[in-house]
Amino acid sequence: MEENYQQDFIFGVDLDGVCADFYDGIRPLAAEWLGVDLETLTKEVSYGLPEWGIDKTPGGYLDFHKFAVTQRDLFKELKPINGCPQTLRRLSKAGIRIRIITHRLYIRYFHKQATSQTIDWLDKHGIPYWDLCFMQHKTHVGANIYIEDSEKHILEYQEAGSEVIIFTNSTNKDLIGLRAESWSDVETLVLEKYNAWSNSLKISK
């Protein structure tokens, strides 16, 4: 029997900066790439990491990112953000469909490493998911509610009328919207939306 996906409550989950501690993980690699002391690289960064000066090096951020993924297994070695795996396991057990939506395939010819490292990382940390979507235009992927840290994608979700939780970090601190400071906050917000959705289904029957 074909599964009725339309009866699922779907939580669209970004990876870098939301599940995986991207900025903390990439910082020592940036110090290595630049040949500088780690403490000279601020933790208060904005999108593209201009504070670290990578954009001014030959090849810019793209060459650095290629090095991090292909030579240092970046996506496999990142640490999960505190509470993320445990929260997603609880949400999944509660009946919520976890849909991973990430834009990790923006460097040509290195898709195999990015996808395999991503799958290995999710499995290693016991993160449940039914769907794994590598998408540049994240609004093309449906969900009842999303979580995101990138200013660009947050604004795209908001402009599309989608409900998105802003997972707070230094790259999005000035944005207005529904916010979570931790995965404990995420769990509370998502369960509230899920319970309201479940109740609306019961009323409609």
pLDDT digits (tens, 9 = 90+) for 80-114: 999 999 999 999 999 999 999 998 776 666 778 88
Tokens 């939780």 belong to residue: 165
Long-range Cβ contacts of 185-192 (<8 Å, 24+ apart): 186/87, 186/147, 187/87, 187/90, 187/91, 189/145, 189/165, 190/11, 190/91, 190/96, 190/145, 190/165, 191/91, 191/94
5 compared with 151, residue with greater pLDDT: 151
Q: Name the pTM for this structure.
A: 0.90
Confidence label for 47 from pLDDT (cuts 50, 70 and 90): confident
The confidence score (pLDDT) of residue 4 equals 42
Structural domains in the chain?
Answer: 5-21+80-204 (3.40.50.1000), 24-76 (no CATH)
Over the stretch 134-159, which tens digit does the pLDDT of each residue have?
988 898 899 999 999 999 999 999 99
* C-beta neighbour count of 118 within 10 angstroms: 22
Please write the tens of the pLDDT for every residue from 11-29: 999 999 999 999 999 999 9
Q: Is the pLDDT of residue 161 over 60?
A: yes
What is the band of 37 on the pLDDT scale with cuts at 50, 70, 90?
A: very high
16 an active-site residue? Answer: yes
Name the catalytic one among 8, 14, 21, 120.
14
Q: Is the pLDDT of residue 5 over 60?
A: no
Question: What stretches of the chain show up as alpha helix (H) in DSSP?
Answer: 22-34, 60-72, 74-77, 84-93, 111-124, 151-159, 183-204
Catalytic-labelled residue, pool 8, 16, 24, 55? 16
Edge to edge, what strands does the sheet with 9-13 contain? 131-134, 96-102, 9-13, 145-148, 164-167, 179-180
Active-site residue 123, yes or no?
Answer: no
